[in-house]
Structure 1
């Protein structure tokens, strides 16, 4: 295949068909890669969380981000920021695992900020509300803490490389 031409889908839109590694990096044509997530899959929130957790646990946060992106694009408007924030956390972990410290930390913080909208009223007991808040069983406080802690850690000049599988967060508040 001519690598200078852009891949196109059946409607003629640009579509990158190059194989990818577990962190979503493009590989040369003809190289075996990790199977891509199908795009545009509509899942229930429970299915989304379950599939994303499976991918995170396998060290494939880029692919988990694609699952969250489907939920963000197909879900109710009131939940779009939730799914977008989760997608940003997954991409932040992806960048951190690829060695992009600045991008990883920025996206982890951006995702954490998006999730705080779902943490409660923000009143006097906001920190307690945030810690206990769940949406679709997702532990908002624990994820926010995980993201902010990882962002700070990856920015430390002496920090070891991030292992995406070892750093995978638990999405569900009950640890499931």
Structure 2
């Protein structure tokens, strides 16, 4: 029996080649998926926030998570937990929209706790607004409700360039 070779991305790392939907779930081969975020994307903070916000507004929090994760990987040690928390909030929203209540609660709580350590966040990030957003969702989940989430606002100003 011949074992099929693993699919790999252009850099040679393993990657499933199946198309993905807007929430990052694999679709059947030959389906029309959404454009993937490259694994090596690493945007500076302002660009990352603008791009991630647009993806959130477009209903693609999994992809926003990928953008935020790339910035987390290149952030300064002082900002690393902030970017990790933002990425966790986006993937927590992804889990909620996919119907994974346990994963949503866990990641929304972890993300909230990480960003909550920043009294004043750089880059005009709306820490208090994001914490309130996460708290409302987690409280609803804890009550056994199925909340319909709003789109979080990453910064105080929602200006796109």
Give your verdict on TM over 0.5: yes
User: Is the CA contact 1:52–1:64 (under 8 Å) kept in the aligned structure 2?
Assistant: yes
Which blocks of at least 5 consecutive residues in structure 1 are unaligned?
120-132
Aligned to 2:81: 81
Moved over 2 A (4+): 9-13, 154-160
Distance 2:97 2:19 in 1: 19
User: Is the CA contact 1:134–1:173 (under 8 Å) kept in the aligned structure 2?
Assistant: no
Whether 1:12 and 2:12 are equivalent positions in the alignment is yes
Distance 2:90 2:111 in 1: 9
User: How large is the Cα RMSD of the aligned pairs?
Assistant: 1.7
Whether 1:156 and 2:143 are equivalent positions in the alignment is yes
The alpha-carbon deviation at position 175 of structure 1 amounts to 4.4
Aligned to 1:106: 106
Q: TM-score with structure 1 length normalisation?
A: 0.82
Distance 1:148 1:23 in 2: 22
Q: Which has the higher contact order (CA 8 A, sep 6+)?
A: 1
Pick the aligned partner of 2:153 from 170, 173, 176: 170
Matching of residues 47-66 of structure 1 within 5 Å: 47-66=47-66
Q: TM-score with structure 2 length normalisation?
A: 0.89
Which blocks of at least 5 consecutive residues in structure 2 are unaligned?
none
Aligned length: 156
The alpha-carbon deviation at position 103 of structure 1 amounts to 0.7
User: Is the CA contact 2:21–2:33 (under 8 Å) kept in the aligned structure 1?
Assistant: yes
